[in-house]
Amino acid sequence: PYDFERPFPDEDEFLGYLRAAARGHNAGSMIDAANRLEAKGLRAVALRVLWAAALHEQIDAAYRVGLACRRGADLPRDLARAAFWLRRAARRGHRPAIRALLELLEASEAAPDPPQEAAALRRELEALSETRR
Protein backbone atom coordinates (compact mmCIF):
# COMPACT_ATOMS: atom_id res chain seq x y z
CA PRO A 1 0.00 0.00 0.00
CA TYR A 2 1.01 3.58 -0.61
CA ASP A 3 1.81 5.82 2.38
CA PHE A 4 -0.57 8.76 1.96
CA GLU A 5 0.67 10.45 5.13
CA ARG A 6 3.71 11.85 3.37
CA PRO A 7 3.46 15.60 2.76
CA PHE A 8 4.06 15.15 -0.98
CA PRO A 9 3.53 12.00 -3.01
CA ASP A 10 6.64 10.19 -4.23
CA GLU A 11 5.72 10.19 -7.91
CA ASP A 12 7.46 6.96 -8.96
CA GLU A 13 6.18 4.98 -6.00
CA PHE A 14 2.68 6.41 -6.38
CA LEU A 15 2.56 5.61 -10.11
CA GLY A 16 3.69 2.08 -9.28
CA TYR A 17 0.84 1.81 -6.78
CA LEU A 18 -1.66 2.96 -9.42
CA ARG A 19 -0.26 0.62 -12.07
CA ALA A 20 -0.58 -2.31 -9.68
CA ALA A 21 -4.17 -1.30 -8.86
CA ALA A 22 -4.99 -1.01 -12.57
CA ARG A 23 -3.32 -4.34 -13.43
CA GLY A 24 -5.28 -6.01 -10.66
CA HIS A 25 -8.45 -4.30 -11.89
CA ASN A 26 -8.72 -2.85 -8.39
CA ALA A 27 -10.57 0.36 -9.19
CA GLY A 28 -11.56 0.59 -5.52
CA SER A 29 -7.91 1.20 -4.62
CA MET A 30 -7.78 3.87 -7.30
CA ILE A 31 -10.90 5.54 -5.89
CA ASP A 32 -9.38 5.41 -2.41
CA ALA A 33 -6.19 6.99 -3.74
CA ALA A 34 -8.21 9.74 -5.45
CA ASN A 35 -10.16 10.46 -2.27
CA ARG A 36 -6.97 10.70 -0.21
CA LEU A 37 -5.30 12.95 -2.77
CA GLU A 38 -8.35 15.19 -2.90
CA ALA A 39 -8.37 15.41 0.91
CA LYS A 40 -4.75 16.61 0.74
CA GLY A 41 -5.77 19.36 -1.70
CA LEU A 42 -4.28 17.61 -4.75
CA ARG A 43 -7.51 17.81 -6.77
CA ALA A 44 -5.91 17.84 -10.22
CA VAL A 45 -3.91 14.70 -9.42
CA ALA A 46 -7.01 13.09 -7.88
CA LEU A 47 -8.93 13.79 -11.07
CA ARG A 48 -6.28 11.99 -13.15
CA VAL A 49 -6.58 8.98 -10.87
CA LEU A 50 -10.38 9.07 -11.15
CA TRP A 51 -10.04 9.24 -14.93
CA ALA A 52 -7.91 6.10 -14.88
CA ALA A 53 -10.44 4.34 -12.65
CA ALA A 54 -13.26 5.41 -14.98
CA LEU A 55 -11.36 3.88 -17.89
CA HIS A 56 -11.33 0.65 -15.86
CA GLU A 57 -15.15 0.73 -15.70
CA GLN A 58 -15.48 2.08 -12.16
CA ILE A 59 -18.90 3.74 -12.39
CA ASP A 60 -18.53 6.11 -9.42
CA ALA A 61 -15.29 7.37 -10.96
CA ALA A 62 -17.03 7.87 -14.32
CA TYR A 63 -19.73 9.87 -12.52
CA ARG A 64 -17.17 12.06 -10.74
CA VAL A 65 -15.19 12.65 -13.95
CA GLY A 66 -18.45 13.59 -15.69
CA LEU A 67 -19.23 16.13 -12.97
CA ALA A 68 -15.72 17.59 -13.21
CA CYS A 69 -16.08 17.95 -16.99
CA ARG A 70 -19.46 19.60 -16.53
CA ARG A 71 -18.16 22.10 -13.95
CA GLY A 72 -14.82 22.68 -15.60
CA ALA A 73 -13.12 21.81 -12.33
CA ASP A 74 -9.36 21.33 -12.82
CA LEU A 75 -9.86 20.85 -16.56
CA PRO A 76 -11.59 22.76 -19.36
CA ARG A 77 -15.40 22.65 -19.24
CA ASP A 78 -16.60 20.15 -21.86
CA LEU A 79 -20.31 19.28 -21.88
CA ALA A 80 -19.96 16.59 -24.56
CA ARG A 81 -17.27 14.83 -22.52
CA ALA A 82 -19.37 15.30 -19.36
CA ALA A 83 -22.31 13.63 -21.11
CA PHE A 84 -20.05 10.77 -22.26
CA TRP A 85 -18.86 9.95 -18.72
CA LEU A 86 -22.23 10.50 -17.08
CA ARG A 87 -23.87 8.28 -19.72
CA ARG A 88 -21.29 5.57 -19.04
CA ALA A 89 -22.21 5.52 -15.34
CA ALA A 90 -25.94 5.99 -15.99
CA ARG A 91 -26.06 2.95 -18.27
CA ARG A 92 -24.88 0.86 -15.32
CA GLY A 93 -27.69 2.16 -13.10
CA HIS A 94 -25.80 4.84 -11.14
CA ARG A 95 -28.70 7.00 -9.91
CA PRO A 96 -26.81 10.24 -9.29
CA ALA A 97 -25.29 9.91 -12.78
CA ILE A 98 -28.74 9.44 -14.30
CA ARG A 99 -29.99 12.57 -12.52
CA ALA A 100 -26.90 14.60 -13.48
CA LEU A 101 -27.14 13.48 -17.11
CA LEU A 102 -30.85 14.30 -17.17
CA GLU A 103 -30.12 17.81 -15.86
CA LEU A 104 -27.33 18.24 -18.39
CA LEU A 105 -29.51 17.13 -21.30
CA GLU A 106 -32.40 19.33 -20.26
CA ALA A 107 -30.12 22.37 -19.97
CA SER A 108 -27.93 21.93 -23.04
CA GLU A 109 -27.33 20.42 -26.42
CA ALA A 110 -24.99 17.77 -25.01
CA ALA A 111 -26.74 14.95 -26.85
CA PRO A 112 -27.77 14.40 -30.47
CA ASP A 113 -31.44 14.30 -29.46
CA PRO A 114 -31.75 15.71 -25.91
CA PRO A 115 -35.56 15.56 -25.50
CA GLN A 116 -35.78 11.86 -26.42
CA GLU A 117 -32.75 10.89 -24.38
CA ALA A 118 -34.00 12.95 -21.43
CA ALA A 119 -37.39 11.21 -21.60
CA ALA A 120 -35.69 7.79 -21.69
CA LEU A 121 -33.50 8.74 -18.71
CA ARG A 122 -36.54 9.95 -16.78
CA ARG A 123 -38.22 6.56 -17.37
CA GLU A 124 -35.04 4.74 -16.31
CA LEU A 125 -34.78 6.80 -13.13
CA GLU A 126 -38.44 6.08 -12.33
CA ALA A 127 -37.87 2.35 -12.94
CA LEU A 128 -34.85 2.37 -10.62
CA SER A 129 -36.90 4.16 -7.97
CA GLU A 130 -39.64 1.53 -8.27
CA THR A 131 -37.18 -1.33 -7.77
CA ARG A 132 -35.90 0.29 -4.54
CA ARG A 133 -39.37 0.38 -2.94
- Compute the distance between CA of residue 82 and CA of residue 61 in angstroms, rounded to an integer: 12
pLDDT value for 26: 67
Q: Choose among 81, 124, 79: nearest CA to 99.
A: 124
Pure H helices in 4-58:
11-23, 27-39, 43-55
Q: Choose among 66, 47, 62, 118: nearest CA to 92.
A: 62
**DSSP single-letter state for residue 59:** H
pLDDT value for 30: 82
- Cα separations (Å) of 120 from 88, 107, 114? 15, 16, 10
Per-domain residue ranges of the chain = 1-57, 59-133
pLDDT value for 24: 66
**pLDDT < 70: residue spans in the chain:** 1-11, 19, 22-27, 108-114, 117-118, 128-133
Q: Tell me if 84 sits within 8 A of 68, measured CB to CB.
A: no
The structure's pTM equals: 0.71
pLDDT value for 116: 74
Q: Tell me if 70 sits within 8 A of 104, measured CB to CB.
A: yes
Q: Tell me if 63 sits within 8 A of 96, measured CB to CB.
A: yes
How many C-beta atoms surround the C-beta of residue 117 within 10 A? Answer: 18
pLDDT value for 7: 57
